[in-house]
Chain A
Amino acid sequence: EAGVAQSPRYKIIEKRQSVAFWCNPISGHATLYWYQQILGQGPKLLIQFQNNGVVDDSQLPKDRFSAERLKGVDSTLKIQPAKLEDSAVYLCASSTPGGNEQFFGPGTRLTVL
């Protein structure tokens, strides 16, 4: 069974530029999560989808971050414009509805210069 796929794996941009990340969850997993993990910290939930609906986006900085999951399968997370403090690893995870285990993708390491 294929795992959670993410791309790109690494991205370097300058502040005020835009960037987008892509995630394809495990087949059949209706719940999809985007986390931000800053070095030395635990993952912080940015947004959680159930199919193509948003369950929680209370910690998403909506003035610059946006996410969508139009067909209830893959998802994109966008940052526009990026700030220095957005440098982090962006992790995508998926689970079955009500499932206890989240399966994480390899992450995208973003560096904002």
Chain B
Amino acid sequence: GQNIDQPTEMTATEGAIVQINCTYQTSGFNGLFWYQQHAGEAPTFLSYNVLDGLEEKGRFSSFLSRSKGYSYLLLKELQMKDSASYLCAVRDNTGGFKTIFGAGTRLFVKA
């Protein structure tokens, strides 16, 4: 089966750096995604990793280690608008390409 674990909540200070971890178990790994979801809104795509290593996109970076079943999302120069839930999701190709979402990490950015 599939399982995705990420912390429920995190708090960080404006201007700081925060790392949100995600561990997963899946039988047919075919990529890992991070989505941002502001309260009351739909998720929006942040990043995609399928190979090991770091993908950087502006203030956001995402890392993947397939052997460890581990990923993290790194947010630099935090802004108040980064307060949101961050969803880790894994695509599994067992019986079709299905995306499984974790419960999300609620990030609170304080001044």
Contacts and interface: CB of A to CB of B under 8 A. Distances in A.
Interface of A: 33, 35, 40-45, 48, 55-56, 58, 91, 100-107
Interface of B: 4, 31, 33, 41-45, 48, 87, 89, 95-104
Contact of A43 (B44, B45, B87, B98): B87
Contacts of B102: 42
Contacts of A105: 42
A106 B37 CA distance: 11
A91 B37 CA distance: 12
Given A35-B101, A91-B42, 8 more contacts: A40-B103, A42-B89, A42-B102, A43-B101, A48-B96, A58-B95, A104-B44, A107-B42
Contacts of B97: 55
